Structure formats: C-alpha cells, structure tokens
Amino acid sequence: MEKKVIELIGAEIRQHENVIMRDVNFTLSEGEFVYLVGKTGSGKSSLLKTLYAALPLEKGEGHCCGYDLTALKRKEIPYLRRKLGIVFQDFELLSDRSVSDNLEFVLRATGWSDTKAMESRISSVLELVGLERTEHKMPHALSGGEQQRVAIARALLNTPQLILADEPTGNLDPKTSLEIFNLLIAISQSGTAILMASHDVATMQNLQCRTVVCDHHELREVQTPAAIFS
C-alpha cells in the first residue's frame, strides 16, 4: 500500500481572515507527481503555504509528511520542513556565495557538520540535477535554468519525502521550462512525492500528469486539460 505524504480532509485554506478554499479533500502518495493549476490568486500558493505551515490549518483535517497540521506546535515546524523541499519561482540563491556554498549553508542550517559528508551530498545532488562540476560557480554565471536546477538540488539535500514547487518555471523560457518539468517528474519516479503549482496549462497538456485545479474557492481533480476552468 502506498504511503500517503499529504492527506487533507474537509480542510479550509485561509489567508488570515479570508477563506481561500473550502472543503479541500486531497491526497498525495509517495513517488507521485501532481500538477496544481489555477489562475493567479486562486489559492495555489496558499495551499502550499498551509502544507509547509506558513499558514495555519484551523478547520478540517490535514497531515503532511507525518505531521498533523491542525495540532502542529511552532517548535515542530522546522522538523516538518526538514522532511520536505520547497522550490520557488525566484531561485532565492545567495548571490555572494558559490553553488557549493549555497548548498552547504542549507546543510549546516539543518544540522550537518561533517565536512566530507557535506561535500559528498553536495556532489550527489548536483549530479542528480545534471550540474556536475558547477560547485565553484557563482549564481550570476549560471543561466536561469541552471539556477533553478541548483534550487532543486537544494530542495533535495535532506532526502525529502515531498517537494513543493511553487511556479518553478515562471521565469524560464518554454524549452527550459520543459526541461525542469521533466527533471521533477524523474525525481518523483525515484520515490519523492511532488506537488507542483503552475499556471502553465500548455505544458501540462503535453505531460498528461495527474492534475488538480484551484477554481471558485474549490480544489477539484480534472481528467483532461479541456476540463480546466470549465
């Protein structure tokens, strides 16, 4: 039986006092890739923020990476976030540090201290995303697609159960976007669950992934691209 990484039952997604989505029922299993689409402002980012506990879940049931989101204490949030990786549209790399130093910063912040172990892990994740021999490059020397690959490598450092990707191709050209999509799908096939938010419906049509849509304060699963926003 597949392990559920995300399970929401009757969940209400809120942004402070505003209700963004009601009665959300959604599950995501180990190694599954799900495409989350919706118009700007429809609630995609709010849903992701609820899952990584940047927004509280106060109504309904919710579990993410083994944590009960309705009972999560503030001191437990860092432990939840160690079990997941987050990839944003803006790569959020430290501009004054090399690729290797960007990744080492995250490892040290999450409790790593063995230098050789860190070097080995950094090499491994860069190889996974196709960026061998870029350790000493600065972010400005990389293309947009390469910077996003570094961001994905960063998300993989602690072997997460789940990656939440929020518009990760929003600043990339169509060809590079497709490369990033394919990379994330390959990562999911190795066992990491991925929930990817995007408004890029055209690419989704080519990939034929399981798709859920945020629309009219609801989250619903769609079977075909033509069903989106119908």
The pLDDT value given to residue 183: 93
The model's pLDDT over 81-102, given as tens digits with 9 standing for 90+, comes to 989 999 988 888 999 999 999 9
Mean pLDDT of 135-152: 95
| Gap between the Cα atoms of 155 and 83, Å rounded | 10
The pLDDT value given to residue 161: 95
Residues 15, 41 contacting (CB under 8 angstroms): no
User: What pTM, to 2 d.p., does this model score?
Assistant: 0.91
The helix (H) or strand (E) run that includes residue 99 is helix 99-109
The pLDDT value given to residue 225: 52
Count Cβ atoms below 10 Å from residue 59 Cβ, excluding itself.
Answer: 15
| Gap between the Cα atoms of 199 and 160, Å rounded | 25
Domains and their CATH numbers in the chain: 1-83+161-230 (3.40.50.300), 94-159 (no CATH)
Residues 45, 197 contacting (CB under 8 angstroms): yes
| E strands, the chain, in order | 4-15, 18-29, 33-38, 61-64, 67-68, 84-88, 162-166, 193-198, 210-215, 218-222
Mean pLDDT of 66-87: 94
The model's pLDDT over 38-57, given as tens digits with 9 standing for 90+, comes to 888 889 999 999 999 999 99
| Gap between the Cα atoms of 191 and 161, Å rounded | 8
% of the chain residues with pLDDT over 90: 72
Q: Is the pLDDT reported for residue 221 higher than 60?
A: yes
